[in-house]
Structures are given as C-alpha cells and as structure tokens.
Chains A and B, each alone.
Chain A
Amino acid sequence: MTLNGLSVFYGENLAVRDVSFGVAANRITAIIGPSGCGKSTVLRSLNRMNDLIDGCRVIGDVAYRGIDIYAPDVEAVEVRRRIGMVFQRPTPFPKSIYQNVVYGLKLAGIHDARDDRVEHALRQAALWDEVSGRLDSSALGLSGGQQQRLCIARALAVEPDVLLMDEPCSALDPIATARIEDLMAELSERLTIVIVTHNLAQAARASHDTAFLTTEVDDHGNRTGVLVEVAPTDRLFAHPIDERTEQYITGRFG
C-alpha cells in the first residue's frame, strides 16, 4: 500500500498532515509516535474506517495494489473485506465465542469447513486452548486480553490480505504478546500487517519497517501529526536520521 500526501481533518481541525510512505507487501510495518500524534487516524484511513467518523475528511490518496481506495468507484465495504482491522479496545459481539469468529465467514457467505476455520483462527490467535471447551458461551465472559485475542481471531478468520492492528497487545500479558508477535511473523508470509504500537521494544522486535510520527504545534496551539521518518526497523532504531526520532526512541522525547 502507498500513502501519498495523506492529510486528515476532523471538522476544521487538521489532525494529520501530508503523510506519505509505502507499506511493503508481506512485511510488518509499525507505526510509532507519542500519544495523540495521529497513529490511529492514519491507520483508520488505510481501510476507510474514517468514513464513519462525522466530519472526518481525508485528502491525498491511499493506493492499495495500485488502486486508490478513496476513488469514487471503490466501495468501502470491498476495501474492508480485504483490509481487516483490530481495534485498540476489544470489541467482541454480544454473542458466543463461536458466533464471533464465524461472523465474518457468514458475511462473506462462506459455508465450507466453518468449524475448522474457526478452530484455525482461534489457534492462530493463541486462544484455542483457553476456549475450546466453551465455544458456545458468551464472548463477554472472557477477560480483556482474551477478548482482544478473540477479535484478532475474528479478523483472521476471513483471511484478509492486509491486517491493520491498533495497539493490539496493550491489554495482553507478555506471554500472549509474544505469541501474537510470533503469529505476526508467521502471518507476514501470507499477508501484510500494519501495527500501531506504544511499545518501542515491540516495534523493534516484531516489525520489518517502522514509521515514526510526531505532533507539531503551530503558533495557534493547533496540534497536527506529521511523519518524521520511515525506514527499515533495524536502520531506524540503530541510526535514526532525524533528531526527533532519536530523541523519541532513546526516551528523551520532550
């Protein structure tokens, strides 16, 4: 995917300005930056989830396999079929665990091997062992971390081509986090992953490329997110070019 001159407004407020970078296929791209700099905003514009926010306007283009997803002849639903998303907070449906995972399959009209697909998705999300005995009980009875893994399983079940993850591990313990990171590595053979994370170590460990965003404050006190630097993760962490990147990754961000 390629972002070209992406700016996002919330009403009059410019939240993100002129972000351009490429997301390489079958690689894991991490988006890092201080809170409020627009990471979620950029991520949401990659599968048109911003369409749902009132007053949100996107300028510039986001090309997915060469096609602008904001073009008039592209339907948002079709974009999201291929570019799945896991949110910052877990959002299980008030249904059973099984019904949650099978949900996307039902939408896509897939009937064959549903049970196997559900099991596979749950295994991938490191949740199978914990829930295999109670697939028919409510998803709301799971812990926060289990709910988040359920949401990951739910997104994986429909086998998206790109998976967007907004701090998927913020509610998980280190073991589950490590499992998710392994999973991402496995998955990246088949799909492209963009992950927003607050955890620099996670970005350094688990991603191939990293984009660093930060907030700029103008004379009127308006805060706008801008892209500072994007590079292969090793390079970005070892030899940041921009001073602001260096300050952020060494923990001296002011």
Chain B
Amino acid sequence: MTDTALLPKPSTQPGFGPVLEPSQRTDVRAKTVSAGRRRTDKVATIALWCAVLAAVVPLGAVITVLVAKGFGVVNWHFLTSDIPSVTGQTTAACRDITPAFRAKYGINCSPPAPGMGPAIVGTLISTGLAAALAIPIGILGAVYCNEIGVRTRLASAIRFFADVMIGVPSIVMGMFIYTAWVVRFGTNGRSAFAAALALACLMLPIVLRSAEEMLRLVPDELRHANLALGGRPSQGVIRVVLPAALPGLISGSLLAVARAAGETAPVLFTIGVTLSLNTSPFGENTTLAQQIFSGAKSGLPLANQLAWGAAFTLVAIVFGLSALARFVASRSSKVQKG
C-alpha cells in the first residue's frame, strides 16, 4: 500500500481542504493527531494519576496507623468484655495488701484489660434501628417523588427538605432528638432507640436522594412495557422498577448506614453512657464512636488503647457491611444481567 499511484486523489469538494492529507488518508501509521493535543493528553493523564495518588496516600496512611495501633488491641476478650471503668493506674495501695486480704474483701488489683463489647452491641443496635427506620421511609419517599407524584408540589417539597436536611450539622439532629424525645422521659430517655432516632434523621435524606437517583436511572421503556402488558403503574414499580434499581438502592442505603455508624455528635446527647452490656434498645447505652471520643480525650494509655481498638473495630464493621452489600448487589445484578 506504499505505492503512491494507488493513493486516492485529494478530496475535490468545492471550497474544502482535505480532512486528511492524501498520503495520510490510507496509512493508519501516520500520526494525524496534533502535537498539542498529544501533549494535553499526556498532561491530563499525569494529572489524573497525581490526583489518584493524592487520594490514596492519606487513605493508606489512615489505614496503616489504624492497623498498627488498633489491631494489636483487638482480640476475643476485647470484643466481648465490658469496658473497664478504671483506666488509670490501679491503686498504689494494692502493693501493701496481701492476696488473702484482697480475696476476703473482693479487691481486684489486676490491671484492667481493654474491652469494648457494650459499645459494639450499642453501635449495632442504634445503627440497625436507624437503618430500619430510615431506609424504608427513604425508599418509599423516593418512590413517591420519582414514580407516583413526579411533578406534584409535595414531591418538590420533599426534595427541598431532603436537601436542607442533608446540610444540617449532625449535632443539630442530636439536639433535636434530645429536646423532642429524651427530655420527655427524663434520664430514662437516653437510649439506643433515641440515638437511632437521631441517626435516622441523618440517614433519611441521604437514602432518599440516592434512591431517587437510582430510580431515575431505570429507563422509562420498562415502565411502559409493564403498562403495555396490562400492568398498573404500582405493579410496575414493585415488579420492575425496584428490582432493576436494587443494586443501586443497596449501595446508597449502605453509604448512609456507614455514615451513621461513625457519627458521634448526635449520639453524645441521646444515648447516655454505660460500661456494661445492654442489649435492649432502651436504657442507657454506648457506641464505638462515643468510646473513641472519650478514650481519645483522655491522656491515659489504657484509654488511648481502648480508643484505637474501638476505631479499628468500627472501621472493620463498616468495611464488612460494605463488602456484604456489594456481594448482595452483585448477586442480584447477576440475576438480571446473566
């Protein structure tokens, strides 16, 4: 194909220069993209890699420190035992009393070991309850906004308030639930359930808005196909639209759960504090985030250890949840895509 005699004549369209030079037109090895564009491409590629690095390095650093400081603390005892009440030095007096005396009066002089069981349970209860409240309401709200009342005033009002709620600082949600719920019941008002209410307020707008985006991605043709088969719009929502959007709904909801699990501010007011296990949604409770807060504040080594262990556990729980959600989502999209 190097025979120039075979090359086509340049385009002879009136008034136009040829788009490709005749010698280039049939030779795919010829470089026709300008040097400037090539350079832009290179620069943009390098810039993107830098951005990736800038995002990955801090993340890697956080995880490294977390594992270094937290992993060693976490063991079965840590996960299941009560939180030690004394995090300072055990009393110097212990040196002066005999083991027999300790045994007689039940004085425990062994140094307290780190434990986080109650906070793990409290986190699971408060976040789980919050998810159970916020996810169904959020998804139903999104279904209303995107499927039933698309252009109604109510739908735009819901969207508006959801957007405002996303911007409300989480501590305000805590104060709101504190005044609206906790104070009504006096000190008994503090509970995992109250914390769940505050966390649900936080999650609801996130779930709603992300679910709405996911529903919007479902093509209208599927809704029309349902109707053409004699289906009601509601049947289309239940049988076609929601299943098609399911993977997205799951990941959106999980993002909200992960966010709620790590929240401290709304929990501080509403959950009270306890150092021993409380598996009931009522009565004072505690969460990992709260324990990280109080453990990190203190200068005592055991308290700091507790905080790192709690941080590691919290990240592990959130990570495990994401992995689970991804697994469920990929399972359900496999059914759809074959």
B and A form one assembly: yes
B228 touches A95 (CB 8 A): no
Please measure, in the bound complex, the distance between the C-alpha atom of A155 and the C-alpha atom of B227, giving whole angstroms.
Answer: 11
- Per a CB cutoff under 8 Å, which of A86, A93, A107, A155 touches B244? A93
Q: What residues of chain B lie closer than 8 Å to A158, measured between beta carbons? A: 229-230
Q: Which of B130-138, B235-243, B264-272, B306-314 contacts A (4 or more CB under 8 A)?
A: B235-243
Please measure, in the bound complex, the distance between the C-alpha atom of A104 and the C-alpha atom of B225, giving whole angstroms.
Answer: 10
Q: What residues of chain B lie closer than 8 Å to A104, measured between beta carbons? A: 229-231
Q: Restricting to A37-58, which residues have a CB under 8 Å from any CB of B? A: 47, 49, 52
B46 located at the interface, meaning its Cβ lies under 8 Å from any Cβ of chain A in the complex:
no
Fill in one digit per residue for B282-299: 1 if any A CB lies within 8 Å of its CB, else 0. Answer: 000000000000000000
A89 located at the interface, meaning its Cβ lies under 8 Å from any Cβ of chain B in the complex:
yes
Fill in one digit per residue for B216-240: 1 if any A CB lies within 8 Å of its CB, else 0. Answer: 0001111111111111100100011
B336 located at the interface, meaning its Cβ lies under 8 Å from any Cβ of chain A in the complex:
yes
B338 touches A138 (CB 8 A): yes
Q: Which of A78, A107, A139, A158 has the most CB of B within 10 A?
A: A107
Please measure, in the bound complex, the distance between the C-alpha atom of A93 and the C-alpha atom of B237, giving whole angstroms.
Answer: 12
Q: What residues of chain B lie closer than 8 Å to A139, measured between beta carbons? A: 338
A138 touches B337 (CB 8 A): yes
Q: What residues of chain B lie closer than 8 Å to A140, measured between beta carbons? A: 336-338
B335 located at the interface, meaning its Cβ lies under 8 Å from any Cβ of chain A in the complex:
yes
A107-B235, A138-B335, A138-B337 given; A93·B240 CB < 8 A = yes
User: Can you give 24 contacting A-B residue pairs, CB < 8 Å?
Assistant: A47-B228, A49-B227, A52-B220, A77-B227, A77-B231, A77-B232, A81-B230, A82-B230, A86-B228, A87-B221, A87-B224, A91-B221, A91-B225, A95-B243, A95-B335, A103-B226, A104-B230, A104-B231, A107-B235, A138-B337, A140-B337, A155-B228, A155-B229, A158-B229
Q: Which of B219, B225, B230, B244 has the most CB of A within 10 A?
A: B230
Please measure, in the bound complex, the distance between the C-alpha atom of A3 and the C-alpha atom of B111, giving whole angstroms.
Answer: 91
Q: How far is the CB of A99 from chain B (nearest CB, A)?
A: 9
A106 located at the interface, meaning its Cβ lies under 8 Å from any Cβ of chain B in the complex:
yes
Please measure, in the bound complex, the distance between the C-alpha atom of A39 and the C-alpha atom of B229, giving whole angstroms.
Answer: 21
A93-B240, A93-B244 given; A107·B229 CB < 8 A = yes
B225 touches A93 (CB 8 A): yes
Q: What residues of chain B lie closer than 8 Å to A106, measured between beta carbons? A: 239
Q: B228's closest neighbor in chain A, by CB? A: A85
Question: 12 more A-B contacts (CB under 8 A) besides A52-B223, A77-B231?
Answer: A49-B228, A52-B227, A77-B227, A78-B230, A80-B228, A80-B229, A84-B230, A91-B225, A94-B222, A95-B336, A138-B338, A158-B230
Q: Which of A77, A84, A154 has the most CB of B within 10 A?
A: A77
Q: What residues of chain A lie closer than 8 Å to B223, measured between beta carbons? A: 52
Please measure, in the bound complex, the distance between the C-alpha atom of A216 and the C-alpha atom of B259, giving whole angstroms.
Answer: 59
Q: What residues of chain B lie closer than 8 Å to A103, measured between beta carbons? A: 226, 229, 231, 239
Q: What residues of chain A lie closer than 8 Å to B232, measured between beta carbons? A: 77
A84 touches B228 (CB 8 A): yes
Q: What residues of chain B lie closer than 8 Å to A86, measured between beta carbons? A: 228
A138-B337, A138-B338, A140-B336 given; A89·B229 CB < 8 A = no
A141 located at the interface, meaning its Cβ lies under 8 Å from any Cβ of chain B in the complex:
yes
Q: How far is the CB of A74 from chain B (nearest CB, A)?
A: 14
Please measure, in the bound complex, the distance between the C-alpha atom of A77 and the C-alpha atom of B229, giving whole angstroms.
Answer: 9
- Per a CB cutoff under 8 Å, which of B227, B229, B230, B337 touches A94? B337
Q: A105's closest neighbor in chain B, by CB? A: B229
Please measure, in the bound complex, the distance between the C-alpha atom of A89 and the C-alpha atom of B337, giving whole angstroms.
Answer: 18
Q: How far is the CB of B241 from chain A (nearest CB, A)?
A: 10
Q: What residues of chain A lie closer than 8 Å to B231, measured between beta carbons? A: 77, 103-104, 107
Q: Restricting to A117-153, which residues have a CB under 8 Å from any CB of B? A: 137-141, 151
Please measure, in the bound complex, the distance between the C-alpha atom of A205 and the C-alpha atom of B12, giving whole angstroms.
Answer: 45
Please measure, in the bound complex, the distance between the C-alpha atom of A94 and the C-alpha atom of B127, giving whole angstroms.
Answer: 32
Q: What residues of chain A lie closer than 8 Å to B243, measured between beta carbons? A: 94-95
Please measure, in the bound complex, the distance between the C-alpha atom of A123 and the C-alpha atom of B239, giving whole angstroms.
Answer: 25
- Per a CB cutoff under 8 Å, which of B230, B239, B337 touches A77? B230
A91-B222, A103-B239 given; A141·B338 CB < 8 A = yes
Q: B230's closest neighbor in chain A, by CB? A: A81
B222 touches A154 (CB 8 A): no
- Per a CB cutoff under 8 Å, which of B222, B227, B229, B338 touches A137? B338
Q: What residues of chain B lie closer than 8 Å to A141, measured between beta carbons? A: 337-338
A4 located at the interface, meaning its Cβ lies under 8 Å from any Cβ of chain B in the complex:
no
Q: What residues of chain A lie closer than 8 Å to B235, measured between beta carbons? A: 107
A138-B336, A140-B338 given; A151·B227 CB < 8 A = no
Q: How far is the CB of B249 from chain A (nearest CB, A)?
A: 14
Fill in one digit per residue for B119-158: 1 if any A CB lies within 8 Å of its CB, else 0. Answer: 0000000000000000000000000000000000000000
Q: What residues of chain A lie closer than 8 Å to B239, measured between beta carbons? A: 103, 106-107
A217 located at the interface, meaning its Cβ lies under 8 Å from any Cβ of chain B in the complex:
no
